[in-house]
Amino acid sequence: MTEAKRPVVLILGAGGVGLSLAGALAGVARVAVACRPRHAATVRRDGLVMEGVWGDRIVREIACIAGPEEAPSAPDLVIITAKGFDTRAICEEYAAVLRGSTVASLQNGIGNEEIIAEYAGTVIGGTVTTNFSVVGDGHVKAKSQSSPMVLGLWSGPDDESLQRLVALIRSAGILVEAVNDIRSAKWSKSLLNLSVNPICALLSIPVGKAADLRLRSVIEHIVSETFAVMEAGGVRTAWPSAKDYLDYLFSVQVPDFATAYPSMYYDIQAGRKTEIDLLNGYVAGQGERLGIQTPYNRCIADLIRFREIDGK
């Protein structure tokens, strides 16, 4: 494909996921990525260093932008890869670019797409079940992957945009599938994050340690409460019961990410805010609304909130 015919993709939020995606898409699209200065300076000077299951290479064809005034005026696609607590702020900042555009979210947790839909024309929800970390400025690693990226139309008139995005991601060599029920897929992915992210962040352990028998009962309660909330809210996932999901978690997902640390671990280590309000905090809030007891999710959310503010 000639340079001029390549789609223009704008990625908002350049950490582990955003930079990895930018590097992967740079071979098939013209990619601009909203970067913090530390990454932008290094990527402009040395290129982006990628390592791991999405390939080992140095990518130079990425335009790092510092704000909306430097953004492409009519991108074919916008992909949001900022943390969920930054979704509204980044949508406000780039509101003029998002208006009328197709905007995808590859973020974890529940609630991002609802916010993005207030700003964008068409919204595509997504999940990515790959472990990414920032090794250093302009340097990312994709350590392991458990299942393909999942994308589905969340809202809006442009239903062809989903097929275009899936084709683009696939052409970059990333495993991806389209689903009809993206709301269900977001909850399916959240089950993994609810189960391992806060426990690994609180105890400073990799995902594999979550299989320890002393932690299993806590995870079992988190998942059982979440299934009760999902059932009351009419949400179905690929797993008919909490037990079915727990079997999958401990036989497939935990082994796949055994030596990886989840994104919330890095947030706590860096003294940053976390996405707990979109995960266990969200389940506890829904439980309260629906009259369902969720003491384990509430307790885990409170412990993480303590570490976010007072834990350092």
Ligand X SMILES: NC(=O)C1=CN([C@@H]2O[C@H](COP(=O)(O)OP(=O)(O)OC[C@H]3O[C@@H](n4cnc5c(N)ncnc54)[C@H](OP(=O)(O)O)[C@@H]3O)[C@@H](O)[C@H]2O)C=CC1
Sites of contact with ligand KPL (CB under 6 A): 108, 129, 131, 192-193, 196-197, 257, 260, 262-263
Distances (CA, A) of 261 to 50, 115, 269, 273, 305: 18, 28, 11, 17, 19
Binding-site partner at residue 192 among ligand KPL, ligand X, none, CB < 5 to 8 Å by type: ligand KPL
Q: Please identify, using beta-carbon distances, which residue of 228 and 276 lies nearer to ligand X.
A: 276
Whole-angstrom distance, CA of residue 123 vs CA of residue 166: 14
Name 63's bridge partners: 32
In the complex, minimum distance from the CB of residue 39 to ligand X, in angstroms, rounded to a whole number: 7
Q: What is the residue type of 166?
A: V
Whole-angstrom distance, CA of residue 35 vs CA of residue 20: 13
Cβ–Cβ under 8 Å, residues 125 and 105? yes
DSSP 274: -
Which distant-in-sequence residues (6+ apart) come within 8 Å of 81 by Cβ? Answer: 11, 12, 13, 14, 15, 17, 18, 21, 106, 107
Whole-angstrom distance, CA of residue 48 vs CA of residue 40: 9
Q: Please identify, using beta-carbon distances, which residue of 52 and 68 lies nearer to ligand KPL.
A: 52
DSSP 221: H
Q: Does residue 81 bind ligand X (CB under 6 A)? A: yes
Q: Please identify, using beta-carbon distances, which residue of 76 and 267 lies nearer to ligand KPL.
A: 267
In the complex, minimum distance from the CB of residue 27 to ligand X, in angstroms, rounded to a whole number: 20
Q: Does residue 237 bind ligand X (CB under 6 A)? A: no
Binding-site partner at residue 82 among ligand X, ligand KPL, none, CB < 5 to 8 Å by type: ligand X
C-alpha angle 304-254-228 in degrees, rounded to nearest 5? 60
Q: Given candidates 51, 61, 86, 302, which one binds ligand X under the rule CB under 6 A? A: 86
Query: In 37-140, which ranges are continuous DSSP H helix?
Result: 37-46, 87-93, 95-98, 112-117
Q: Does residue 34 bind ligand X (CB under 6 A)? A: yes
Token readout for 36 is: 């913090």
Q: Does residue 307 bind ligand X (CB under 6 A)? A: no
| Contact stretch for ligand X (CB under 6 A) within 102-110, 153-161, 204-212, 222-230 | 102-110
| Contact stretch for ligand X (CB under 6 A) within 43-51, 81-89, 169-177, 293-301 | 81-89
**Could you give the string, one character per residue 251-290, with x where binding to ligand X holds by CB under 6 A and - elsewhere?**
------------x-----------x---------------
DSSP 106: -
Name 12's bridge partners: 34, 80
Q: Given candidates 101, 108, 190, 294, which one binds ligand X under the rule CB under 6 A? A: 108
Residues that bind ligand X (CB under 6 A): 13-18, 34, 36, 81-84, 86, 89-90, 93, 106-108, 128, 130-132, 134, 263, 275
